[in-house]
Amino acid sequence: MNDKTDEQEILMLDMIDRFLKKEVEPYAHKLEHDDTYPEEIVEKMKEMGLFGCIIKEEYGGLGLSTTTYARIIERISRIWMSLSGIVNSHLIMASAVQRAGTEAQKAEFLPRFASGELRGGVGLTEPNCGTDLQAIRTTAKREGDEYVVNGAKTWITNSMYGNCLALLVKTDSKVEPHHRGMSLLIAEKGPGFKVARKLEKLGYRGIDTCELVFEDYRVPADRLIGGQEGRGLQQILSGLELGRINVAARGVGVARAALEDSLAYAQVRTTFGKPICEHQAIQLMLAEMATRVEASKLLVENAARAYDKGERCDMEAGMAKYFATEAALKNATEALRIHGGYGYSKEYNVERYYRDAPLLIIGEGTNELQRIIIARQLVERNPV
């Protein structure tokens, strides 16, 4: 990075730290346990421009690098991971338009995404389709200047309080392979776009995650991203690389939170006449936790740099997502053990890390899938 970029990042991260300390940390514990949507915090995030983090400045965004964005997400997740999801899904949608949209679509929608006027996410997962996106059943049939959409989606973030989705649909159910019949629509809420119910979750609370039903929902044909049918899967996969970097950065944040809380607790909690940080068993756990955090951070930054260069980075993003989220899960578990009975109490944040971390190993492609992607890319990049 050049000096100007370095200075911009320092100022941005300092603003984020002050925002989190003043506006989020005092309220996160109660909001999370009550599963209450943080409306006031989201409005402040709009004012700060966080919904335009990686949208180009010419469209009203902040134009930040993915590396800076990942550092922002790490900081947010250290305090309350749910907020990072509110940004993530929205920016995957925005990224799809920024990378693959027509010039008219970019001019119309990116400024509205950047301001948060239009805020939402991606409509991918269905009741019988998660990792295998080619199995989606939601259809969009062209009728004149509109597409008529019918189907259902589930586990959709930002779908209750948001107002727009990048919606993955089948515009041709007969073509082989199936991905050639898949398209991506910019879908604003309207008649036929129904939120069926909010889903109750173990962790990742406070954020709206819902089931959706589309019944003769109409989308103007000029909202087809890129203006050509059959390219939806490729368009969204690029956004999912960004999503995996986001989830990996969340992993770093949760892993770091678990470490920092454990390190502080281990210095004040005493057993057998001395702080537990002086017991070798605790020292071994703390050392491993710290190493996981640092290794995860480096993998995330490597993936973010590759994404910024426009390089193919499914392997790098997969490595970061796999390792950092497993680190979060392991560190959350170790933090619970270090805190003992207090870790099991809702008075401490440790039990929240323990509930939040499992989502990370599932979301944006399971860690089993990430390992398959990594292995395939290793073979493809290293032929003999």
Angle between helices 232-268 and 280-308 (to 10 degrees): 150
DSSP assignment letter at 21: I
- Region of residue 75 (left: phi > 0; alpha: psi -120 to 50; beta: else): alpha
Residue 225's pLDDT is: 97
Structure tokens at 348: 């401490």
The pTM for the full model equals 0.94
**How is the chain split into domains, by residue range?**
3-115, 121-231, 234-381
Residue 312's pLDDT is: 86
Residues with catalytic function: 364
Q: 22, exposed or middle or buried, with CB in 10 Å at 0-12, 13-18, 19+?
A: exposed
Structure tokens at 345: 């109490």
Q: Give 130's contacts (C-beta < 8 A, 6+ positions apart).
A: 155
Q: How many CA atoms lie within 13 A of 21 on its CB side?
A: 6
Q: Where are the alpha helices (DSSP H) in the chain?
A: 3-19, 25-34, 39-48, 66-79, 81-100, 103-115, 232-268, 280-308, 314-339, 350-360, 367-381
Q: Which amino acid is at 161?
A: Y
Instruction: Provide the terminal-to-terminal Cα distance of the chain, rounded to the nearest Å.
Output: 36
Q: How many CA atoms lie within 13 A of 97 on its CB side?
A: 35
Q: Give 103's contacts (C-beta < 8 A, 6+ positions apart).
A: none
CA dist., res. 256 & res. 16, Å (int): 17
CA dist., res. 300 & res. 297, Å (int): 5
Residue 5's pLDDT is: 63
CA dist., res. 219 & res. 193, Å (int): 10
Structure tokens at 240: 């999912």
The fold adopted by the segment(s) 121-231 is: Butyryl-CoA Dehydrogenase, subunit A; domain 2 (2.40.110)
Residue 156's pLDDT is: 96
Nearest to 69 by CA among 147, 9, 151, 110: 9
Nearest to 229 by CA among 167, 181, 268, 267: 181
Residue 171's pLDDT is: 96
CA dist., res. 143 & res. 127, Å (int): 26
pLDDT averages per 10-residue partition of the chain, 384 residues: 68 95 97 96 96 96 95 98 94 94 97 97 90 89 97 96 97 87 97 97 95 98 96 86 94 98 98 96 98 98 94 93 98 97 95 97 92 96 95
Residue 133's pLDDT is: 86
Residue 176's pLDDT is: 86
CA dist., res. 350 & res. 224, Å (int): 44
The fold adopted by the segment(s) 3-115 is: Butyryl-Coa Dehydrogenase, subunit A; domain 1 (1.10.540)
Structure tokens at 105: 């679509």
Residue 369's pLDDT is: 93
DSSP assignment letter at 24: I
Residue 174's pLDDT is: 87
Nearest to 257 by CA among 199, 317, 188, 327: 327
CA 168 distance to own-chain centroid: 17
Ordered DSSP codes for 265-311: HHHH-EETTEEGGGSHHHHHHHHHHHHHHHHHHHHHHHHHHHHHTT-
CB-based contact 170:139 (threshold 8 Å): yes
CATH number (3.90.470.20, 3.30.830.10, 1.20.1560.10, 1.20.140.10) of 234-381 reads 1.20.140.10
Q: Give 202's contacts (C-beta < 8 A, 6+ positions apart).
A: 355, 358, 359
CA dist., res. 152 & res. 125, Å (int): 9
**Alpha-carbon dihedral sign for residues 189, 195, 201, 205:** positive
